[in-house]
């Protein structure tokens, strides 16, 4: 299509359309044939389309793992995908618990909230993590005024050792949560696996190991080098190793 035709279709002035198309061309979204003056879609759109399709298939890959986790623990299993400063719930499965949780698909959590916030921050590149940790409003312990920097850094270090983070009723009284990070191709951090429920605090560590074990399996299916991501974690040594093998969900 030519400039005049494009501008007529979208009802904008030619000068504005020309400026927009030049910007798109700069980023490879469109290409211009300088002889015919016709614009066509650029190669960058192929990359964007692949990225979009990858995100579409994530819930499909994660779904059976959510079902197994929810059934095994009678909790609610969630798949959260990172979107800027938020985590979007794109997958959910509820177990046979008596108390349900009103977490809808598409719900947005702040990226720093509770257990999932700590699991994501722990495995985020250091420079990026520090940008969040210096912010005045974070929600690791619910109300931003409850933040304890020293405690948080210790919890993040512990999460990197064992592979998961936890919240025992601080965000929602009576509700315990464990979460582990999820990775995709090129070991990119894309989100997290979350288990929440009214299970006892005595179950937190056991269920945390289940969550991180499944998170590794999911990450591998999404193209990550799972063994490299978790090989240095304390959970792979000694007693924890046997716990993981015994708690793996098939």
Domain of 186, CATH number, reads 3.30.450.40
Q: Indicate the pLDDT class of residue 230, thresholds 50, 70 and 90.
A: low
pLDDT over 70 at 99, yes or no: no
d(CA 152, CA 141): 9
Residues 80 and 108 in one domain: yes
- Give the mean model confidence (pLDDT) for residues 136-154: 93
pLDDT over 70 at 128, yes or no: yes
Residues 163 and 196 in one domain: yes
Q: Does residue 106 or residue 139 have the better pLDDT?
A: 139
Q: Of 36-45, 134-143, 154-163, which gets the smallest average pLDDT? A: 36-45
Residues 38 and 54 in one domain: no
pLDDT over 70 at 56, yes or no: no
Report the mean per-residue pLDDT for the chain: 83
**Confidence at residue 194, expressed as pLDDT on a 0 to 100 scale:** 97
List the domain range (segments joined by +) for residue 55.
Answer: 50-247
Using a pLDDT cut of 90, give the percent of the chain over it: 53
**Confidence at residue 37, expressed as pLDDT on a 0 to 100 scale:** 83
pLDDT over 70 at 243, yes or no: no
- Give the mean model confidence (pLDDT) for residues 72-96: 89
Q: Which long-range contacts link 95-103 to residues 24+ away (Cβ below 8 Å)?
A: 95/70, 95/71, 95/197, 96/71, 97/197, 97/198, 98/198, 99/198, 100/76, 101/76, 101/175, 101/196, 103/76, 103/78, 103/196
Residues 29 and 73 in one domain: no
pLDDT over 90 at 111, yes or no: yes
**Confidence at residue 95, expressed as pLDDT on a 0 to 100 scale:** 73
Residues 109 and 189 in one domain: yes
Count of structural domains, the chain: 2
pLDDT over 60 at 237, yes or no: no
Residues 8 and 30 in one domain: yes
**Confidence at residue 207, expressed as pLDDT on a 0 to 100 scale:** 96
pLDDT over 60 at 249, yes or no: no
Residues 218 and 104 in one domain: yes
Residues 77 and 161 in one domain: yes
pLDDT in tens, 167-213: 999 999 999 999 999 999 889 999 999 999 999 999 999 999 999 99
Q: Does residue 85 or residue 10 have the better pLDDT?
A: 85
Q: Indicate the pLDDT class of residue 222, thresholds 50, 70 and 90.
A: confident
Residues 15 and 68 in one domain: no
User: Which of 207, 212, 153, 204 lies closest to 180 in space, CA to CA?
Assistant: 212
Residues 119 and 157 in one domain: yes
Residues 7 and 103 in one domain: no
Residues 34 and 114 in one domain: no
**Confidence at residue 98, expressed as pLDDT on a 0 to 100 scale:** 59
């Amino acid at each position: 299509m030519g400039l005049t035709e494009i501008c007529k279709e979208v009802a904008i002035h030619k000068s504005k359309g020309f400026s927009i198309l030049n910007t798109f061309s700069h980023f490879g979204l469109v290409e211009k044939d300088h002889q015919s003056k016709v614009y066509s879609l650029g190669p960058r759109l192929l990359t964007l389309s692949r990225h979009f399709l990858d995100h579409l298939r994530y819930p499909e890959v994660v779904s059976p793992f959510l079902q197994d986790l929810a059934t095994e623990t009678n909790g609610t299993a969630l798949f959260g995908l990172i979107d800027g400063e938020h985590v979007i719930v794109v997958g959910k499965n509820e177990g046979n618990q008596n108390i349900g949780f009103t977490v809808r698909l598409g719900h947005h959590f702040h990226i720093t909230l509770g257990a999932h916030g700590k699991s994501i921050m722990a495995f985020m590149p250091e420079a990026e993590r520090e940008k969040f940790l210096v912010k005045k409003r974070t929600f690791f312990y619910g109300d931003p005024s409850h933040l304890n920097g020293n405690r948080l850094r210790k919890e993040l270090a512990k999460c990197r050792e064992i592979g998961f983070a936890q919240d025992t009723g601080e965000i929602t009284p009576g509700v315990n949560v464990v979460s582990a990070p999820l990775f995709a191709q090129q070991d990119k951090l894309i989100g997290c696996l979350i288990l929440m429920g009214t299970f006892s605090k005595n179950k937190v560590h056991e269920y945390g190991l289940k969550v991180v074990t499944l998170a590794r399996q999911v990450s591998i299916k999404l193209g990550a080098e799972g063994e490299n991501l978790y090989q240095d974690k304390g959970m792979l040594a000694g007693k924890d190793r046997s716990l993981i093998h015994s708690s793996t969900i098939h």
